């Protein structure tokens, strides 16, 4: 159970990091377009 929970948490963290990175890139691009 603990191993499953640990791997599940790692996958969630990786997904959140990937989504967060995509959002940051979109914000950076929008800021560059404004300037």
The whole-model pTM stands at 0.45
DSSP state of 1: -
Which ranges constitute the DSSP H helices of 1-35? Answer: 2-34
Distance CA 5, CA 12 (A): 10
Lookup: tokens for 25: 């890139």
Q: What is the pLDDT of residue 27?
A: 92
Domain that holds residue 28: 1-35
What is the total count of domains within the chain? 1
pLDDT, block means (10 residues), the chain with 35 residues: 71 84 91 80
């Amino acid at each position: 159970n603990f191993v499953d929970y640990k791997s599940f948490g790692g996958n969630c963290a990786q997904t959140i990091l990937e989504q967060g990175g995509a959002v940051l890139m979109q914000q950076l691009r929008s800021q560059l377009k404004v300037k």
